Amino acid sequence: MDITPGLRQLIDRGLGKLNRVLNDSGVSAQVVLRQERHRHVAEVTIHARGDHMLHGVGQATAWALSLKDALTKIDKQAKRMKSKWHERKRQAADTRMVTPPPKPAGDLAVAAPRIVRVPRSLVKPMTVEDAALRMGTGSEHFVVFRNATTDSVTILYRRKDGNFGLIEPDV
């Protein structure tokens, strides 16, 4: 079927509203329009970040109504997905705020250690020798890497006596 400029404008306007709801998280959109006798069917599929697929089908006697029905369904899915993303962020923020255990009443000199999160780092594949070179050149106290020979996550750390310690998991 031919897509008229008015129909394209309806589609663009509806997808624009969804783009604002998803806050630029939409990767791609696909709109399929078909007419079955006197029924107009609009199928809209949105691919959002994180491999999320939003899908809505609308059926009505006019294109505007079927598009509105499909986009309303997707809008509801998008708001639900976005609230899950928002809740996940809140839960992550709650886990970062670790409160120290209560202090004993008479002991004021002992302070409980705090847990401080550091930014995530990429676990790169390298040999033990490469990790030792990296430790020797920088001021790092430890290096977490994927051992190139065993393909397991390994930790190389600097000991108090100046040597390096190696922690390898049991396979």
pLDDT at 169 over 70: yes
Pairing of strands 142-147, 153-158: antiparallel
Helix (H) or strand (E) holding 116: none
CA-nearest of 14, 77, 80 to 42 is 14
What integer is the mean pLDDT of 47-62?
A: 88
Is 5-94's fold the same as 125-167's? no
Cβ of 55: how many Cβ atoms within 10 Å? 14
- Stated pTM of the model: 0.49
Report the pLDDT value the prediction gives residue 149, as an integer from 0 to 100.
83
Task: Give CA torsion, residues 113, 115, 119, 120, to 10 deg.
Answer: 120
User: What's the CA gap between 164 and 157, in Å, rounded?
Assistant: 6
Task: Give CA torsion, residues 154, 157, 161, 162, to 10 deg.
Answer: 110
Confidence of residue 34 (pLDDT cuts 50, 70, 90): very high
**Arch. (CATH architecture) of 5-94:** 2-Layer Sandwich (3.30)
| CA dist list (Å): 129 to 104, 143, 171 | 46, 12, 21
* Structural domain spans, the chain: 5-94, 125-167
Cβ of 57: how many Cβ atoms within 10 Å? 15
User: Which CATH code of 3.30.505.50, 3.40.50.300, 3.30.70.260, 3.90.1150.10 fits the domain covering 125-167?
Assistant: 3.30.505.50
88 burial type by CB count under 10 A (0-12 exposed, 13-18 middle, 19+ buried): exposed
What integer is the mean pLDDT of 47-54?
A: 83
